[in-house]
Amino acid sequence: MEEKAPLLLTIAVLGGTGKEGKGLAYRWAKAGYKILIGSRTPEKAITAASELMEKLEGSSSLVGVSNREAAELADIVVLTVPYAAHRDTLEGVKDVLKGKLFIDVTSPIVPPKVTKVQMPPAGSATQEAREILGADVQIASAFQNISHELLLKDEDIECDVLVTGTSKEARAETIKLIDAAGLKGWDAGPIENSVVVEGLTNVLININKQYGSTHAGIKITGVNRDE
């Protein structure tokens, strides 16, 4: 895990009571960030924050609040809700996201055909977020291909994270958070490329089903990011 964050940035994890959200919150809290876990039901957020604080032995800053309050108070806002709640959640917080970095973790998984890529009319969930939030919000897309089972463990994760977004700056800031979470991130280009990254989620679900796994991932080879 990386050293403690040099700046006490506050990260809101909207939908943070879900497995992916809790996993990311755990990793960032351990790295020294202040975490706000958001939920449509604040009581659930408070419970999730308490559970994570117990796991971290009270050494970190985790608070459970509503999705809107989390989005209002944070420097960086991360959305980890299922696709069915994607639009409604964004509509509820879009007016408080101006000038902030927004990271979308959503994949447009549409049950029951979860192994089939099914993209929305906007092209991807992240492009849909851009249509809803407008040009005043810097948007990145990341973490769709990471198993939640791995995030809540303390072991190194042998899986890379592809990052797309509305600007190189948004992608670079997101990669810093990926590094802090103990993973390796790669700049995968403009937000239009999110269609490929989000679609990989369905491919990985199919691989898990075919080969009896729960945490198939991706790895970039043939290039050294740190050179």
Would 185 be classed as within a structural domain? yes
Would 144 be classed as within a structural domain? yes
**Residue 12, strand partner residues:** 36, 77
Query: Residue 2's pLDDT is what?
Result: 46
Would 121 be classed as within a structural domain? yes
Find, among 120, 72, 76, 75, the residue nearest to 92 by Cα. 72
Look at residue 3 and tell me whether its pLDDT is greater than 90. no
Find, among 95, 205, 185, 96, the residue nearest to 141 by Cα. 185
In this predicted model, what pLDDT tens digit does every residue of 24-43 receive, in sequence order?
Answer: 999 999 999 999 999 999 99
Domain that holds residue 165: 10-211
* Average confidence score pLDDT of the chain: 93
Query: Residue 156's pLDDT is what?
Result: 85
In this predicted model, what pLDDT tens digit does every residue of 131-160 receive, in sequence order?
Answer: 999 999 999 999 999 988 889 888 888 899
In whole angstroms, give the CA distance from residue 25 to residue 48: 10
Look at residue 221 and tell me whether its pLDDT is greater than 50. yes
The values of phi and psi at residue 87, to 5°, are: -65, -45
In this predicted model, what pLDDT tens digit does every residue of 57-109 receive, in sequence order?
Answer: 877 899 999 999 999 999 999 999 999 999 999 999 999 999 999 999 999 99
Would 100 be classed as within a structural domain? yes
CATH number at residue 61: 3.40.50.720
Look at residue 6 and tell me whether its pLDDT is greater than 50. no
Helix (H) or strand (E) holding 97: none
Look at residue 1 and tell me whether its pLDDT is greater than 70. no
Would 2 be classed as within a structural domain? no
In whole angstroms, give the CA distance from residue 49 to residue 38: 9
Would 147 be classed as within a structural domain? yes
The values of phi and psi at residue 164, to 5°, are: -115, 165
> The tokens of 109 are what?
């998984």
**Residue 138, strand partner residues:** 101
Cα pseudo-dihedral 177, 139, 52, 205, rounded to 10: -100
> The tokens of 102 are what?
């927004």
pLDDT level of residue 226 (50, 70, 90 thresholds): confident
Would 193 be classed as within a structural domain? yes
> The tokens of 161 are what?
């994270």
Would 219 be classed as within a structural domain? no
The more confident residue out of 167 and 225 is 167
**pLDDT over 90 percentage in the chain:** 85
How many domains would you assign to the chain?
1
